[in-house]
């Protein structure tokens, strides 16, 4: 290490000036960027103050993709109901809608590009855990620092009930499905994916969307955590989630209409 320091000690002033300019130019370009995004993507942060503004910009192009996907499967767009299933271990967000006969049809499987925490429910503010349970979307955030976001109703009545049993408080809040590539208790989907999910949710209507968050596909495996040291009510929650997940036929492959990480994922 000291030899390396000595090497830089002998450098002339112009070396340091050139190095500083190089770093500045890289940080100012799309070559290096927080959250793995381009500079143009970051420039969009907080661009829209209203949902209508975001829908006006992203709706036309995104709807063409959505309509094609639905119509190619014999489904009507916009759908009358959506179920979003987030599997934490698999890092995937499945989106289902019922067909004409009421059977749940898989429409999209998006990669979750940013997660935090470990298997197990969210218990308090700052634990970085993604909640586990059945939730609703209660709002849109068009000016999110993570591009666009859907706001979940965490903590819901069930979360509050269990917290009262254990005399826990400060359960945390602001759990979202959002863009970008970073997460602290939310599902980060990347900017292109959240534009599609945002418009799909808007056109469907919040009252017609259910969000199921599970540690994994509980019908295929057990979660990788010690149930003996977890909350006493956790098996009850997992049994309920397992029953709900059994209503849906999930796949392992990613299925989306958008490029991600410079690759076109299977469609």
pLDDT in tens, 173-215: 999 999 999 999 999 999 999 999 999 999 999 999 999 999 9
- In order of 27, 127, 211, the CA distances from 23 in angstroms are 6, 34, 43
State the Cα–Cα distance between residues 178 and 146, nearest whole angstrom: 6
Residue 5 neighbours by CB under 8 Å, 6+ apart:
none
| Closest to 204 (Cα-Cα) out of 88, 100, 55 | 55
Residue 133, Cβ density class (10 Å: 0-12 exposed, 13-18 middle, ≥19 buried): buried
% residues pLDDT > 90 (the chain): 71
pLDDT tens digits, residue range 67-88? 999 999 999 999 999 999 999 9
Predicted pLDDT of residue 252:
59
49 or 42: which leads in pLDDT: 49
| Closest to 119 (Cα-Cα) out of 45, 213, 12, 207 | 213
pLDDT tens digits, residue range 97-113? 999 999 999 999 999 99
Q: Where are the domains of the chain?
A: 38-258
| Closest to 211 (Cα-Cα) out of 124, 106, 132, 148 | 132
Out of 3.30.230.10, 2.40.440.10, 3.40.50.300, 3.40.50.10300, select the CATH number for domain 38-258: 2.40.440.10
Residue-wise over 201-217: b if at least 16 C-beta within 10 A, else e? bbbbeeeebebbbbbbb
DSSP string over 24-89: HHHHHSSSS-GGG--HHHHHTTT--SSHHHHHHHHHHHHHHHHHHHHHTTT--SS-S-EEEEEETT
Residue 91's CB is within 10 A of a number of other CB atoms, namely: 15
Say yes or no to pLDDT of 241 above 50: yes
């Amino acid at each position: 290490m000291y030899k390396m320091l000595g090497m830089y000690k002998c450098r002339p002033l112009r070396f340091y000036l050139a190095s500083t300019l190089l770093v500045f130019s890289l940080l100012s370009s799309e070559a290096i960027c927080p959250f793995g995004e381009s500079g143009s993507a970051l420039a969009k942060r907080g661009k829209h103050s209203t949902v209508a503004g975001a829908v006006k910009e992203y709706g036309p192009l995104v709807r063409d993709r959505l309509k094609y996907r639905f119509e190619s499967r014999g489904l009507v767009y916009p759908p009358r109901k959506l179920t979003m299933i987030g599997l934490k271990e698999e890092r995937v967000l499945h989106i289902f809608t019922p067909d004409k006969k009421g059977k749940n049809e898989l429409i999209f499987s998006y990669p979750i590009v940013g997660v935090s925490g470990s298997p197990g429910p969210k218990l308090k503010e700052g634990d970085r855990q993604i909640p586990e349970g059945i939730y609703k979307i209660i709002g849109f955030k068009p000016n999110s620092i993570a591009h666009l976001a859907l706001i979940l109703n965490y903590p819901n009545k069930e979360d509050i009930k269990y917290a009262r049993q254990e005399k826990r408080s400060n359960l945390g809040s602001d759990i979202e499905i959002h863009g970008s590539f970073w997460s602290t208790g939310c599902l980060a989907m990347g900017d292109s994916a959240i534009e599609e999910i945002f418009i799909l949710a808007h056109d469907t209507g919040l009252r017609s969307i259910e969000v199921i968050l599970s540690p994994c596909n509980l019908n295929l495996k057990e979660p990788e955590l010690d149930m003996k040291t977890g909350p006493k009510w956790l098996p009850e929650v997992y049994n309920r989630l397992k029953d709900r997940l059994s209503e849906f036929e999930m796949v392992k492959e990613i299925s989306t209409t958008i490029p991600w990480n410079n690759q076109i994922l299977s469609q």
